[in-house]
Amino acid sequence: MRELALALGRFSSIEADSGGVTLRVAYRRDGKVPLAAAQQVLRRAVQSLATTAERYGPYPYRALTFCVLEAGRGFSDAREYPGFILLLLDRGYSPTTHQDVAHEVGHQWFYGLVGNDIYRDPWLDEALAQY
């Protein structure tokens, strides 16, 4: 792993298995991220991990954690780190979230395993993760 990210706070979490990989979704306990949104993220993560592993090879780590927060900024956003994905939702799970989960899972291969300088040449990993 080339980076480390973490989230501090009071979280609840749900888990599922996808091909021997533990997928975990941590979400705020205060209700700003509803359980239903966390469950949708988890379902999409399981699907995305299986599809991407089938195309590019097995996921190299034992776990992948999503930290889901309510952004309250008028738009959703996401950031990828090896083994960790931060999702900022705007008013819950949306079609944008659906796309973001798959895109960020793709980054586990393109940037996570096949690295590049994300500040100098972001087009490399962004293009491959989007594909």
For 32-90, what is each residue's pLDDT tens digit?
899 999 999 999 999 999 999 999 999 989 999 999 998 877 778 888 888 999 999 98
Residues 48/105, Cβ–Cβ less than 8 Å: yes
The residue with greater pLDDT, 128 or 17, is 17
pTM over 0.85: yes
- For tokens 């399981």, name the residue: 46
pLDDT-derived band at 105 (thresholds 50, 70, 90) equals very high
Average pLDDT over residues 117-130: 72
pLDDT band at 94 (very low <50, low <70, confident <90, very high): confident
Q: What percent of the chain has pLDDT over 90?
A: 50
Report the chain's mean pLDDT, rounded to a whole number. 87
CA–CA separation, 52 and 29 (whole Å): 30
The CA-based angle 52-55-57, given to 5 degrees, is 85
Provide the CB-side half-sphere exposure for 39 (13 A, CA). 3
Instruction: Decide the pairing of beta strands 84-89 and 63-70.
Output: parallel
